[in-house]
């Protein structure tokens, strides 16, 4: 999507219309309680609109509709080619309404239009198309058997799958869950994050327009402690996919254990390292990537490389370049395409980030760039990109996920030390490594304990590669790739005497 001007986007944002109702059984409805909640623009502090607040009862109503849709096969037994066509149409509708979705996402989440227009929204459309295109090309298998039996190994949809979404990549995470859930023939119940429900609710309208049958996709806005918890404890739901904090993820495992042992798939936090080896010649490229790795999405990113681990011999030269590159990342109104950092999601989260900055100073970190709240007069939650030098691995800012634009710079002397620091965390989502030596790249990328390791770039892979975490960053879950489809299916053996 081509970027337009700041004025154009401001004007567009005033003309937006919002879907504020839940989607249950193909209809847009108010919640059974009649209660509503307000969604706020993080860049202004102003309310945007009121959204219906679903209840535990609504979860049960949605599950019944989703179950009926699954059992009568209106989606699960539709020919794969027809299911594919509907999901491709949904991808196309997302593209056709891309600018509206990008502006809506920007005002609801504080994320820059720069990213929403060029990344999140096109990626959302592509994710639906990718899983759609794959779905009628998958094959089941047979084993060699014993001559007296035919043995088939087949995959079948699970049934009704819940999805609980985070606020940091709202519509994109909806797609990362829903595209493979629906492509595999399941029915779905989705709970967007309360702070950012608007684009997922709009996605529901586009899904209906694309022809997804009634009951197959249900969207319930509302609070995690009510809707999310009800999904976790539901006695019939076959599976629950989650992206969010490690704390809530662990609670959902307990919910499943207390009820029907549903399949729980968790994508959780990260405290990701970026290692710079002393042999790197193109320090400008490495610095550019390191800055993108930490400040992209204001650091509200589970793969944010918030720990920069640099060889001591090049640290000063490298840090200088990192600061130089960080200066290019303007912070301000997310509707202005010149800004690479927008507003943090809410005031309380901004205060948490500012507290981490104070802790960084108090524990002896040397603040070398940024460190303050800015643009307070806007009413928005803006924090400058912030860099601490002289951090040691035991400091709070080197250990806890801040989920804000804060970089902790550490040094090492030897490769083993770099790996020890990098792996010394409860998380294991992503790691970046910069080296010009091929053997070092192979050796260290295997030694890093993370679901994705990117070498000489910062990356999460793409739609064709699985995305998920080791250790407390994940639990059995992989988004993207055919691995995502597989996890929303059951594996069945059919053993037949000839």
Catalytic residues, which ones?
267, 302
- Our finding on whether 228 is near ligand NAP (CB under 6 A) is yes
Q: Which two tokens stand for residue 167?
A: 């606020």
| Least distance from Mg ion to the Cβ atom of residue 161, Å | 26
Q: Which two tokens stand for residue 173?
A: 């995470």
Angle 360-361-364 (CA atoms, 0-180°, nearest 5)?
90
- Our finding on whether 302 is near ligand NAP (CB under 6 A) is yes
Q: Which two tokens stand for residue 166?
A: 């985070």
Residue 39: name its binding partner from ligand NAP, Mg ion, none (Cβ under 5 to 8 Å by kind). Answer: Mg ion
Angle, helices 198-210/98-109, rounded to nearest 10 degrees: 160
- Our finding on whether 271 is near ligand NAP (CB under 6 A) is no
Rounded to the nearest 10°, the torsion over CA 89, 91, 97, 100 is 150
Angle 113-119-122 (CA atoms, 0-180°, nearest 5)?
110
| Least distance from ligand NAP to the Cβ atom of residue 450, Å | 11
Q: Which two tokens stand for residue 363?
A: 């524990």
| Least distance from ligand NAP to the Cβ atom of residue 412, Å | 25
Q: What length does the chain have? A: 498
Looking at the Cβ atoms of 90 and 252, the one nearer to ligand NAP is 252
- Provide the greatest CA pair distance for the chain: 79
**C-alpha span between 290 and 454 (Å, rounded):** 12
- Our finding on whether 273 is near ligand NAP (CB under 6 A) is no
- Our finding on whether 191 is near ligand NAP (CB under 6 A) is yes
Residue 123: name its binding partner from Mg ion, ligand NAP, none (Cβ under 5 to 8 Å by kind). Answer: none
Question: Strand order in 489-497's β-sheet?
Answer: 141-142, 149-157, 489-497
| Least distance from ligand NAP to the Cβ atom of residue 281, Å | 33
Looking at the Cβ atoms of 165 and 322, the one nearer to ligand NAP is 165
Q: Which two tokens stand for residue 400?
A: 């806890």
**From candidates 95, 108, 226, 300, binder to Mg ion by CB under 5 A:** 108
- Our finding on whether 162 is near ligand NAP (CB under 6 A) is no
- Our finding on whether 127 is near ligand NAP (CB under 6 A) is no
Write out the binding residues for Mg ion, residues 167-206 only, by CB under 5 A: 195
Please report, in angstroms and rounded to a whole number, the separation of the first and last CA atoms in the chain: 57
- Our finding on whether 352 is near ligand NAP (CB under 6 A) is no
Residue ranges that bind ligand NAP, judged by CB under 6 A: 164-168, 191, 193-194, 223-225, 228-229, 232, 243-245, 248, 251-252, 267-270, 302, 401, 403, 429, 469, 473
Residue ranges that bind Mg ion, judged by CB under 5 A: 39, 108, 195
């Amino acid at each position: 999507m081509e970027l337009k001007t700041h004025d154009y986007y401001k004007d567009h944002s005033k003309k937006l219309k919002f879907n504020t109702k839940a989607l249950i059984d193909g209809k847009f409805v108010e919640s059974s309680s009649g209660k509503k909640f307000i969604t706020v623009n993080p860049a202004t502090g102003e309310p945007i609109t009121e959204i219906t607040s679903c209840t535990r009862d609504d979860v049960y109503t949605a599950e019944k509709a989703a179950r009926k849709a699954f059992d009568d096969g209106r989606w699960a037994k539709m020919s794969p080619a027809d299911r594919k066509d509907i999901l491709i149409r949904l991808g196309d509708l997302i593209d056709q309404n891309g600018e509206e979705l990008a502006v809506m996402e920007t005002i609801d989440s504080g994320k820059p239009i720069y990213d929403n227009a060029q990344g999140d929204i096109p990626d959302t459309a592509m994710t639906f198309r990718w899983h759609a295109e794959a779905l009628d090309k998958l094959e089941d298998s047979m084993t060699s058997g014993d001559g007296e039996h035919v043995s088939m190994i087949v995959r079948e949809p699970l049934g009704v799958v819940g999805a609980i979404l985070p606020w940091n990549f709202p519509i994109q995470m909806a797609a990362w869950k829903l595209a493979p859930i629906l492509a595999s023939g399941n029915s779905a119940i989705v709970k967007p994050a309360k702070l950012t429900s608007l684009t997922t609710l709009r996605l529901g309208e586009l899904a209906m327009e694309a022809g997804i049958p009634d009951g197959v996709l249900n969207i319930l806005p509302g609070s995690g402690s009510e809707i999310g918890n009800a999904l976790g404890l539901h006695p019939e739901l076959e599976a629950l996919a989650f992206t969010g904090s490690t704390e809530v993820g662990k609670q959902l495992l307990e919910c499943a254990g207390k009820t029907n042992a549903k399949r729980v798939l968790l994508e959780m936090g990260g405290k990701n390292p970026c290692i710079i080896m002393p042999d790197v010649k193109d320090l400008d490229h490495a610095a550019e990537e390191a800055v993108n790795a930490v400040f992209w999405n204001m650091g509200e990113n589970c793969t944010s490389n918030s720990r920069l681990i640099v060889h001591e011999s090049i640290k000063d030269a490298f840090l200088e370049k990192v600061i130089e590159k960080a200066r290019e990342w303007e912070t301000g109104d997310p509707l202005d395409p010149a800004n690479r950092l927008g507003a943090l999601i809410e005031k309380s989260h901004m205060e948490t980030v500012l507290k981490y900055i104070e802790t960084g100073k108090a524990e002896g970190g040397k603040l070398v760039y940024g460190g303050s709240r800015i643009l307070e007069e806007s009413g928005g939650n803006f924090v400058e990109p912030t860099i601490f030098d002289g951090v040691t691995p035991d400091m709070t800012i080197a250990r806890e996920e801040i989920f804000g634009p804060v970089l902790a710079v550490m040094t090492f002397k030897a490769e083993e030390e770099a790996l020890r620091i990098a792996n010394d965390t409860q998380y294991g989502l992503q790691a970046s490594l910069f080296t010009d030596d091929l053997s070092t790249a192979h050796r260290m990328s295997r030694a890093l304990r993370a679901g994705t390791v990117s070498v000489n770039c910062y990356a999460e892979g793409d739609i064709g590669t699985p995305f998920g975490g080791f250790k407390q960053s994940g639990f059995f879950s992989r988004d993207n790739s055919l691995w995502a489809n597989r996890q929303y299916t059951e594996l069945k053996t059919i053993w037949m005497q000839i």
